[in-house]
Amino acid sequence: MRNQYQERSTVIRIIFLTVGIIFIVRLAFMQVFDSEYRRQADRQALRPITQFPARGLIYDRNGELLVYNEAVYDLMVIPRMTKGLDTNMFCRVMGITRDEFDARMRKACKYSTYSASPFMKQVSKEEYGSWENSLYKFRGFYVQQRTLRVYDKPIAAHVLGYVGEVDQSEIDADKFYKQGDYIGKSGLEKSYEEVLRGIKGKRIMQVDVHNREIGSYMNGAYDTMAVEGGNLYTTLDASLQEYAEGLMANKRGCIVAIEPSTGEVLAMVSAPGYDPNLLVGRVRGENYQMLLQDISRPLLNRALIEHYPPGSIFKVAQAVTALQLGVITPNSGFVCDKSLVGCHNHPSARSVQEAIKMSCNPYFYQVYRRVIQQGKYKSIYKDSPYGLTVWRDYMLRFGFGQKMGIDLPASGITPGFIPDTAFYNKRYGRERWAFSTIYSNSIGQGEVTVVPIQMANLACIVANRGYYITPHLVRYYGPDSVRNEEFYTKHETGINKAYFDIAANGMYDVVHVAGGTARRANIPDIDICGKTGTAQNIGEDHSVFICFAPKEKPKIAVAVYVENARGGGGYWAAPIASLVIEKYIRGEVTRKDVEKMYREAAPCQKLPLTRVAKKKKK
């Protein structure tokens, strides 16, 4: 039994041996009898040259070119091939010193002596022209073309982002990148990197003993063409962006303008900003360090990353949520009882609309109490967690408490915070808290924080009377005009449209009726609906205003944050927002005096506003 089929071991040995013999015979033919391979190898002075595709261009919503490319040249070196180099002549031709030469060569050798690495990076077209014809004298050196970004208007730096050299972790993460390649590091350049970068090509050149390229290898049979990167067609309005950036001069804060019906971001300003041309080319590293160390943090996109207690603006969301839950009616009136929570002097509000207009704190204290303690349970310690869960669910539907799904890198977006029962249980203990513990949320001052873009989105929700489309910056991209379907879906709040009409009426009164908190935003002929707020801050509070216009069929929704600005939302943020709206709807601003005043005003005198140092020439 054991030795059954033993003869088959011989068959198996024969199979093994046959394959071995085939291999050895094949090797004999290739290595011993055929000298063609050897000759090929000797002639194999081949140089694979990567063809870098031009990065995709970026346009604004009207077809204006925001970002394009210019050609620069990298002088590459393969150290092993430079034996016998006339170093003195080389230094003279290239215009570098001997020490510089040695340092660069050491660096190249450290990378690899066999593979090419950049010797001189980003040489301009003119400089390249001055030694192009002498290059053949220097064995081991050749030139590789690359492109750099150019910005005609120094605007929208935070949105566009910048491009930089790949670091080791990026090389490890994606085989596409090689040492010295460029990659989008922030903004749209990063989030649309795979669209913008294109596909690299490869040309294999034959090189003679004098290091001259004598043509394509095998007539280019093994070459691949580079494919240009896809263009981005953004939603930005370049002239509005430029105008809004001008309004934020000498200030800190941000402006977000969105077309409510589409979620398209028309302008996104974060101040102080910087000229995007600063982060291009050989001066990039130095300028980047300078911007990084600036205490006013010009590299941050405040519209997405800062989060503040929302202040009075939050009351709009509370009003419609309470109406939807049926815990108040449009005609509910509450006495302005300053013993509950502080307020300014005004007649008591007799309706939701009036309460929004007057921004009455005790009124919303009462509203929030009815939301949190709906009476489902006898014990308020059981009732409050129930109410909070219901309330939180509504707040999330407004886009609060979660990262906005805008098409910018998620690492630069803050979710903000809407507390849940787990949060309060941890802080106070299970069934140890109730409405009276958390009432500050009612006026946007408790644990709640929101991000400026979420505030702009709230204005969109009221403008749309109940839904929003995720704010986004790119309409379509690439040669096939690809659209991101996610940016065409309506996110419904599930709140009755009629309640939003009430909120819109209240916001209309804020700007237009005596006793409203933002009369300064009033422009004849344009129906602006808005809500002021004050974001509490260590130090001077921030002035906040959200609004949309016109009241019917709104074309634009705006959120404005001015940091450390005394006087509340009505004083600083509201007039700035009204200028943005006027500029967008009319095309130009007629109130030149107002424009001039707010352009020049600098609200935060106490903190020195470090101006970005003078732009270094590339």
Partner 1 sequence: METKIDWVTLLLYAAILVFGWMNIYAACYDEAHTAILDLHTMHGKQLLWIGISVVIALIITHIDPHIFSSMSYLIYLVVIGLLVVVLFVGTVTKGGLSWIDFGSFKFQPSEFAKFATALALGKYMSSLDLDYRQLRTKLIAWGLILLPAGIIILQHDTGSALVFASFLLPLYREGMSPRILIVGLVAVVLFVVTLLLGKYKLILVGVLAAIALLYLFGWLNKRTRKHYIWVTAVFAACTLFIFSVDFAFEKVLQPHQRDRIYVLLGKTDEKTNSTTGYNVYQSKIAIGSGGVFGKGFLKGTITKADFVPEQETDFIFCTVGEEWGFVGSTLLILAYIGLLFRLVTLAERQYSKFSRIYGYSVASILFLHLFINIGMALGLLPVIGIPLPFFSYGGSSLMAFTILLFIFLRQDQERTNPI
Bond prior to 415 in cis (omega within 30° of 0): no
Give the separation between CA 461 and CA 260, rounded to whole angstroms: 7
Choose between 109 and 585: whose C-beta lies nearer to partner 1. 109
Please classify residue 19 by burial: count the beta carbons closer than 10 Å to its beta carbon, then call 0-12 exposed, 13-18 middle and 19+ buried: exposed
Q: Tell me the number of residues near partner 1 by CB under 8 A.
A: 46
28 binds partner 1 (CB under 8 A): yes
The amino acid present at 243, given as its one-letter code, is Y
Say if residues 288 and 337 touch (Cβ distance below 8 Å): no
Based on the shown chain and the rule CB under 8 A, indicate whether residue 36 belongs to the binding site for partner 1.
yes
Alpha helices of 520-590 — where are they, by DSSP H?
Answer: 568-571, 573-586
Give whichever of 181 and 242 is closer to partner 1, judged by the CB atom. 181
Residue selected from 113, 130, 536, 605 as contacting partner 1 according to rule CB under 8 A: 113
Q: Which one, 116 or 458, has the nearer CB to partner 1?
A: 116
Instruction: Kindly tell me which of 443 and 560 has the beta carbon lying closer to Zn ion.
Output: 443
Q: Which of 296, 517 has the CB closer to Zn ion?
A: 517
488 binding partner (options partner 1, Zn ion, none; Cβ < 5 to 8 Å by kind): none
Lookup: tokens for 478: 């690439």
Q: Which residues contact 136 (CB under 8 A, 6 or more apart)?
A: 210, 211, 212
Say if CB 543 and CB 571 are below 8 A apart: yes
Q: Does 204 bind partner 1 (CB under 8 A)?
A: yes
Q: Is 411 in the site for partner 1 (CB under 8 A)?
A: no
Residue 8 binding result from Zn ion, partner 1, none, given CB thresholds of 5 to 8 Å by partner type:
partner 1
Tokens of 520: 């300064």
Per-residue H/E/C for 171-238: HHHCCCCCCCCEEECCHHHHHCHHHHCCECEEEEEEECCCCCEEEEHHHHCCCECCECCCCEEECCCH
Nearest to 55 by CA among 187, 122, 149: 149
Minimum Å gap between C-beta 16 and partner 1 is: 5
Taking the complex as a whole, the smallest distance from the CB of residue 202 to partner 1 amounts, in Å, to 8
Indicate the pairing of strand 65-77 with strand 117-123.
antiparallel
Q: Which is nearer to partner 1, 221 or 295 (CB)?
A: 221
- Tell me which of 59, 85, 114, 602 binds partner 1, using CB under 8 A: 114
Question: How many whole angstroms separate alpha carbon 75 and alpha carbon 118?
Answer: 6
Among 87, 88, 224, 389, binds partner 1 (CB under 8 A): 224
Distance CA(506)–CA(41), nearest Å, equals 82
343 interacts with Zn ion by CB under 5 A: yes
Give yes or no for residue 375 binding partner 1 (CB under 8 A). no
Token output for 153: 């208007």
Structure tokens at 107: 């660096």
Our finding on whether 199 is near partner 1 (CB under 8 A) is no
> Quick check: 27 binds partner 1 (CB under 8 A)?
yes
Of these, 97, 115, 331, 389, which contacts partner 1 (CB under 8 A)?
115
Under rule CB under 5 A, residue 336 binds Zn ion: yes
Q: Cα-flanking dihedrals φ and ψ of residue 332, to 5°?
A: -65, 135
Partner in contact with 498, chosen from partner 1, Zn ion, none, beta carbon below 5 to 8 Å by kind: none
34 in contact with partner 1 (CB under 8 A): yes
Quick one: what does residue 343 bind among Zn ion, partner 1, none, with the CB cut-off 5 to 8 Å set by partner type?
Zn ion
Q: Answer yes or no: are the C-beta atoms of 178 and 51 closer than 8 Å.
A: no
407 to 264, 462, 472: CA distances (angstroms) = 11, 23, 6
Q: Which two tokens stand for residue 97?
A: 């010193």
For Zn ion, the binding residues in 350-369 under the rule CB under 5 A are 360
Using CB under 8 A as the binding rule, whether residue 170 contacts partner 1 is answered as: no
Residue from 70, 80, 410, 607 binding partner 1 (CB under 8 A): 80
Minimum Å distance from CB 85 to partner 1?
A: 17
| Look-up of token digits 């707010």 | 598
Nearer to Zn ion, 338 or 427 (CB): 338
360 binds, among Zn ion, partner 1, none (CB under 5 to 8 A by kind): Zn ion
Could you say which of partner 1, Zn ion, none residue 336 binds, taking C-beta under 5 to 8 angstroms by partner kind?
Answer: Zn ion
In order of 349, 355, 391, 483, 497, the CA distances from 329 in angstroms are 13, 12, 17, 42, 14
Please report whether residue 103 would count as binding partner 1 according to CB under 8 A: no
Please tell me whether residue 514 binds partner 1 under the rule CB under 8 A.
no
Contact 155, 110 (CB under 8 A): no
Question: Binding to partner 1 by residue 482, rule CB under 8 A?
Answer: no
Among 87, 88, 112, 605, binds partner 1 (CB under 8 A): 112
Tell whether residue 171 is a contact of partner 1 (CB under 8 A).
no
Q: Which residues bind Zn ion (CB under 5 A)?
A: 336, 343, 360
Q: Which residues bind partner 1 (CB under 8 A)?
A: 2, 4-6, 8-9, 11-13, 15-17, 19-20, 22-24, 26-28, 30-32, 34, 36-38, 40-42, 44, 46, 48, 80, 109-115, 204, 221-224
